[in-house]
Amino acid sequence: MSAHESQLLQVNIGPQHPSTHGVFRMEVTLDGETVVALRPVFGYLHRNHEQLAEASSYIQTMPYTDRLDYFNSMTSNYGYALAVERLAGIEVPQRASYIRALMSELTRILNHATAIGFMINDMGAWHTALQFGMREREKILDLFEMASGARMMCNYFRFGGVVRDLPPEFLPYFDQLMRGLPAFFDEFEQLLRDNEIIVARSSGIGILPRDVAAGYSVTGPVLRGSGVPYDIRRAEPYGIYGELAFDIPVGSVGDVYDRTLVRFAEMRQSYRILQQIRERLPDTGGGHINPALANFGKQKALRPPAGEAYARVESPKGELGFYLVSDGSTQPYRYKVRAPSFINLTPLGAMCRGHLLADVVVILGSIDIVMGEVDR
């Protein structure tokens, strides 16, 4: 190559592209097929979510957080509810906390199953892996529908609890799902972990070394895949996570393969957490919501005292943080979302440099982004 005079090729991947997971654009400079530089371009889905929230009352924003990460509306709800509760000093009953954690872990399983599926799709497998994940996701969405009435845009959380208790048909269906999950994990993991092409395509690709990963502010499976055992459920426990036993899986190299393995292991850990929650759930007391806020009018009229609060939850994609500043009125003075999908894209250019064009989409897939959250 060096003996010839080569011309760099500028390629726009996106905003309309099969594997940018929405309207995301990457300006890629190629030398042959090798990536020389990559610049992510954002904003095609920008709707100034934060400003809308600042013009709404606190509870009006709750359904809108569903639309941030539309795959994981439950954890988005959780983060926002947690921030407002911290700001206004609201107690959450024990049972509500258990239901919240249950929903969060179900969300994690569905997100990881489909995230792995989407990544394998980006590698060129014709949707088969994705369909495997989608099959389990449908069952979990059935559960969400039972509890909240909606499959994806759940709007289930309220300040001080959740909107309604679990319906009677929820737990039998949940138990049925739980019986099937280990077989699904085994099947899914075996199908993909032992596939030679997937291993060849993902190992050694998009390495984010352990010592720089934290500096790039990446969180979630991307950070843990690099070997940093950082999980907000352990680092700063919220809800009932302090009482639950689970391991934090970490990778060793920090490549795409490690991130995938971390997601596999996290699904199993979520299963473990769900087992513990299921065991203790019947004994929990306190109702599904704080009685002081059980009436929707009270939720609407919430006026947190002036001050600020930052709350974060471990969403399946990483640290989902909400920073709120209150001036004592019914609307937040400042509402900021710390979106994991967005900040995890910071090292994308560095991770892709020197790899081939085919690796770019795989690396992007391994970061697991949702454009609703990236562009907000």
Q: Which of residues 215-254 bind another protein (CB under 8 A)?
A: 215-219, 228-230, 234-236, 247-253
Distance in angstroms (rounded) separating the CA atoms of residues 139 and 158: 24
Measured in degrees and rounded to the nearest 5, phi and psi for residue 173 equal -65, -35
Q: Shortest approach of another protein to residue 301 CB, angstroms?
A: 23
Among 50, 142, 165, 189, interactor with another protein by CB under 8 A = 50
Among 6, 91, 124, 152, interactor with another protein by CB under 8 A = 124
Q: In the stretch 131-150, what mask flags binding to another protein with x, by CB under 8 A?
A: xx--x---------------
Helix (H) or strand (E) run with residue 234 in it: helix 232-235
Spatial contact of 206 and 255, defined as CB atoms under 8 Å apart: yes
Does residue 281 touch another protein according to CB under 8 A?
no
Spatial contact of 98 and 280, defined as CB atoms under 8 Å apart: yes
Range 309-348, binding another protein (CB under 8 A): 310, 312, 319, 321, 323, 325, 333-334, 336, 338, 342-343, 345-347
Range 51-70, binding another protein (CB under 8 A): 51
Does residue 159 touch another protein according to CB under 8 A?
no
Q: Which residues contact 156 (CB under 8 A, 6 or more apart)?
A: 73, 74, 77, 103, 144, 147, 148, 162, 163
Nearer Cβ to another protein (105/359) = 359
Using alpha carbons, list the distances in angstroms from residue 258 to 296, 345, 365: 45, 17, 13
Among 65, 111, 121, 155, interactor with another protein by CB under 8 A = 121
Spatial contact of 362 and 119, defined as CB atoms under 8 Å apart: yes
Does residue 292 touch another protein according to CB under 8 A?
no
Q: In the stretch 19-38, what mask flags binding to another protein with x, by CB under 8 A?
A: x----------x--x-----
Nearer Cβ to another protein (63/204) = 204
Angle, nearest 10°, between helix axes 256-280 and 94-122?
A: 150
Q: Which residues contact 269 (CB under 8 A, 6 or more apart)?
A: 246, 247, 248, 249
Q: Shortest approach of another protein to residue 155 CB, angstroms?
A: 25
Q: What ranges in 5-161 are assigned the alpha helix state H?
A: 49-54, 62-66, 73-88, 94-122, 128-148
Measured in degrees and rounded to the nearest 5, phi and psi for residue 140 equal -65, -35
Does residue 278 touch another protein according to CB under 8 A?
no
Q: Shortest approach of another protein to residue 148 CB, angstroms?
A: 26
Q: Shortest approach of another protein to residue 208 CB, angstroms?
A: 11
Range 71-110, binding another protein (CB under 8 A): none
Distance in angstroms (rounded) separating the CA atoms of residues 291 and 293: 5
Q: In the stretch 160-199, what mask flags binding to another protein with x, by CB under 8 A?
A: -----------------------------------x-xxx
